[in-house]
Amino acid sequence: MSPETLDAIARIEAQTFVRQVDWFAEIGSTNDYALSVADDASVITPRLIWADRQHAGRGRSGAEWWSAAGALTFSLLVDRDDWQLPAARWPQVSLVTGLAIAEALSELLPGYPVQVKWPNDVYLDGRKVCGILIETAAGTQRLIVGIGINVANSFRSAPAELQQTATSIIDHRPAAALPVAVLLAVLDHWERRMMQFCEAPAAFTAEWADRCLLTGKPIRLTTGSTTIIGICTGIDDHGRLQIDTPQGLHQAIAGTVRLLTNPARS
Ligand code: BTN
């Protein structure tokens, strides 16, 4: 472990809400590790599971999450008792997380648009820079918030198709491409936003509207075998995506969204 990583772990445990850090040079998936320890009551939360490399990273809908050296990959293992949040609000933690990350990245990348693509991607200058995978540990009241951010892994030499859909901090502002600094910024914003969300969840509706990548755009929502096409009109105060369709308003609680204006980038 480098002295920089050692120092970061000490700072995180001393100065943030995280009570313990598990760091790995390489692991299959930080979410898988968190799931494997989640039912052990002696495992202290909030816990940060942080890996320099993952060789079996997972994305949403069973997809693989591939990340090169320089990406920031970690999971937060939290217990419902860590936050005074009613159970009905837990599904919205993904949107709260997206907002917190978007804010952290905005501060690090002044002048660049950073938006949340419902339900849980963060886009930098119109391309995906971060994915979020939230999972619940069955039989427990613990939640795993898995986050992958492209920080120092450039997409400049990636295949053209990938360059159109994904990006990295280093490709916009090399000076900000420091994984430890990004991690500290994200933890700071995540804690602040979670505390606000516990106290006043309704205040988030306007915040989500401000950061929503999809509002005003034609989209296609796929949920299982169902497809909805319409214009996104925003996110309501329960975190549901609002879609204006010829059949009326559709309110989505889950699904995968594709932008229809520029399909190559969605
Ligand atoms: C997505 O965009 O589909 C979500 C990607 C989530 C990737 C992160 S990386 C850290 C954590 N561990 C995993 O295996 N996945 C999440």
* pLDDT confidence tier of residue 261, bands split at 50, 70 and 90: confident
| pLDDT for 262 | 55
pLDDT in tens, 193-233: 999 999 988 888 888 889 999 999 999 999 989 999 999 99
pLDDT exceeds cutoff 50 at 266: no
> Is the predicted pLDDT of residue 265 greater than 60, yes or no?
no
Ligand 1 closest atom vs CA 71: 9
The answer to whether residues 120 and 132 touch, using CB atoms and an 8 Å cutoff, is yes
C-alpha 5 to ligand 1 mean position (Å): 21
Output the average pLDDT for the chain: 93
How far apart (Å, rounded) are the C-alpha atoms in residues 153 and 171? 8
Probe ligand 1: pick from 26, 31, 94, 118, max atoms within 8 Å of CB?
31
Tens digit of each residue's pLDDT (9 = 90 or more) over 231-249 = 999 999 889 999 999 999 9
Percent of the chain with pLDDT over 70: 98
3-state secondary structure of 130: strand
Ligand 1 atom closest to residue 61's alpha carbon, by position in its atom list: 3
Q: Which pLDDT score, from 0 to 100, does residue 213 have?
A: 95
DSSP code of residue 58: B
What is the CB < 6 Å shell around ligand 1? Answer: 29-31, 54, 57-60, 63, 65, 73-75, 121, 131-133, 146-148
144: CB partners within 8 A, 6+ apart: 31, 34, 35, 38, 75, 76, 77, 78, 134, 135, 136, 137
- For residue 263, pLDDT over 50 is answered with no
pLDDT over 90 for what percent of the chain? 78
Are 128 and 122 in contact, with CB atoms under 8 Å apart?
yes
Classify 168 as helix, strand or coil: coil
DSSP-assigned beta bridge partners for residue 104 = none
Whether pLDDT at 186 is above 50 = yes
* Cβ–Cβ under 8 Å, residues 186 and 112: no
Residues 103-118, mean pLDDT to the nearest whole number = 97
CA of 208 to the centre of ligand 1 (A): 22
Residue 158 has pLDDT above 90, yes or no: no
User: What pLDDT is recorded for position 264?
Assistant: 47
Average pLDDT (173-202) is: 95
Which range, 10-24, 58-72, 150-164, is most confident? Answer: 10-24
Strand residue runs (E) in 80-209 = 114-117, 121-124, 127-136, 142-149
pLDDT tens, 51-70? 999 999 999 988 899 888 99
- The pLDDT value given to residue 161: 87
Is the pLDDT confidence value at 92 over 60?
yes
Alpha-carbon dihedral sign for residues 194, 197, 203, 207: positive
Higher-scoring residue by pLDDT: 183, 203: 183
Mean pLDDT of 110-117: 96
At residue 191, does pLDDT exceed 90?
yes
